[in-house]
Structure 1
Amino acid sequence: MRKHTALILPAALAAALAAAPALANPATTLTEPQVRAVLEQQGFTRINDLEFEDGMWEADATSADGNRVDLRVDPSSGKVFAEDMVSTLSADDIKARLTAAGYSKVNDVDFEDGIWEAEAERPDGADVKIRLDPTDGRILGVEND
């Protein structure tokens, strides 16, 4: 299995953002054509099944080295997460970050398809599913569970 570090190339993202000035606002969600452009700029080809699901863009594609990979793309930043990406954080790191962010009852912490996923309770008592970046623990998305 090939190990990947962060796949987003600053120049590729800058070009995609320059092509879509409205994306300067990080709260803006990338559109399907913009996600496809970011993936192509990073060398992915045969991009199939590109769809927005569970708060992230998902697709399968052929990597520059010819392997088929499942991908997830952060809809705000355009950062790409490949299924075989290696995390620099442990499950305990993720639990600690979520606890520090005010979540409680953190459970079901799993590294899946290149990102961390966990279930927890928000301070208001709502149960949520959280997705986190495997390199820095940044929360990518939170949705009601």
Structure 2
Amino acid sequence: MRNSTALILPALLAAALAAAPAMAGSGGKQTLTEPQVRALLAEQGFTRIDDLEFEDGMWETDATGADGNRVDVRVDPASGKVFAEGMVSRLSAEDVKARLTAAGYSKVHDVDYDDGIWEAEAERPDGKDVKIRVDPTDGRILGIEND
């Protein structure tokens, strides 16, 4: 008979490691680790989570939704908010343009709703071109990258 402590300790260690936030490459902001993202998606009913990668500042994957259909899914690494293909946006393209303009961006163009997230190209006040990802529910900027 095995000692029950020998079975419990590895499970506790695995849970502690999965719960620890990753800090590397996040500019000091807490970010979710791959095991945390997988657990989060499973909690929300996604299965067959394939090709999970951290790309362009977000976790991205293909997964099977609760309805059995395959969808593209993105996860905000700081908040854990899940954005899935087919998700309905509360904002229009004009809303996104207005919010980005109010935030100091100009020449906002190529506003596109893709895989549950608004994406737009714009110019920062310093003249640099950027690609911006925007939350479709509250208009919060999720990420900015040089274009």
Residues 65-116 of structure 1: CA deviation (Å, up to 9, x unaligned): 2111110111111111111111111111000000110111111111111110
- Counterpart Cα distance in 1 of 2:90 and 2:52: 27
Letter in 1 for 2:104: G
In the TM superposition, what are the counterparts of 1:1-145 in structure 2 within 5 Å?
20=19, 22=21, 27-145=29-147
What SS is found at the alignment partner of 1:108? strand
**Equivalences, count:** 126
For 1:87 and 1:41, the matched residues in 2 are separated by 22
Q: Supply the RMSD in Å over aligned alpha carbons.
A: 1.7
Cα distance in 1 for partners of 2:109, 2:145 equals 15
Q: Secondary structure at the match of 1:129?
A: strand
Any unmatched runs of 5+ in structure 2?
A: 1-14, 23-27
Show structure 1 runs of 5+ residues with no match: 1-15
Partners in 1 of 2:61 and 2:127 — Cα distance? Answer: 33
Runs of 4+ aligned structure 1 residues displaced above 4 Å come to: none
Which structure has the larger Rg over C-alpha atoms? 2
Which of structures 1 and 2 has the larger relative contact order (alpha carbons within 8 angstroms, sep 6+)? Answer: 1
CA distance in 1 between counterparts of 2:112 and 2:66 reads 27
SS in 1 for 2:54: strand
Looking at structure 1, the residues matched to 100 and 73 of structure 2 have their Cα atoms a distance apart, in angstroms, of 24
Whether the 8 Å CA contact 2:21–2:33 is kept in 1: the answer is: no
| Matched letter for residue 20 of structure 1 | A
Q: Is the 8 Å Cα contact of residues 21 and 31 (structure 2) preserved in structure 1?
A: no
TM-score normalised by L of structure 2? 0.81
SS in 1 for 2:79: coil
Residue identity (%) = 81
TM value normalised by structure 1: 0.82
1:103 partner letter: Y
